[in-house]
Amino acid sequence: MTKQDLLLLVKSGAVQSAGILSRNGQFEIWVQTDSAGEEPNVDDVHTTRGELRRWSRLDNAYSFLRECGVRGTIGVDDAPSVVIV
């Protein structure tokens, strides 16, 4: 989803939860939305070019969610780095 998609979902009240994932020194955002009685959808935030949007600072990712209108608790999780040997 893009920032514009997130803004529309927040405005419609469809956002159930959101979180920030730390991966390899960068931060990614995920958003869980209600999908009309079906299983909830979990999506990452992407740029308008379709690339996964990443932040170099946790506070910037957190501010992005708040500026988009996400309220309540925002979870922060640390993903293990994957090392292929």
Residue-wise pLDDT tens digits, 30-83: 999 876 666 778 899 999 999 999 999 999 999 999 999 999 889 999 876 555
CA–CA distance, 79 with 66 (Å, rounded to integer): 22
Q: What is the pTM of this model?
A: 0.84
Would you say 21 and 30 are in contact if contact means Cβ atoms under 8 Å apart?
yes
If phi > 0 it is left, if psi is from -120 to 50 it is alpha, else beta; for residue 64 that is: alpha
Asked if the model's pLDDT at residue 22 lies above 70, the reply is yes
pLDDT of res. 83: 54
Alpha helices in the chain (DSSP H): 3-12, 58-67
Beta-bridged to residue 22, according to DSSP, are 27, 78
Locate tokens 């070019």: which residue?
49
Residue 24 has pLDDT above 70, yes or no: yes
pLDDT at position 82 is 59
pLDDT of residue 50: 92
Local structure of residue 49 (DSSP, 8 states): T
pLDDT at position 21 = 94
* Residue 68 CB contacts under 8 Å (≥ 6 apart), including other chains: 3, 6, 7, 10
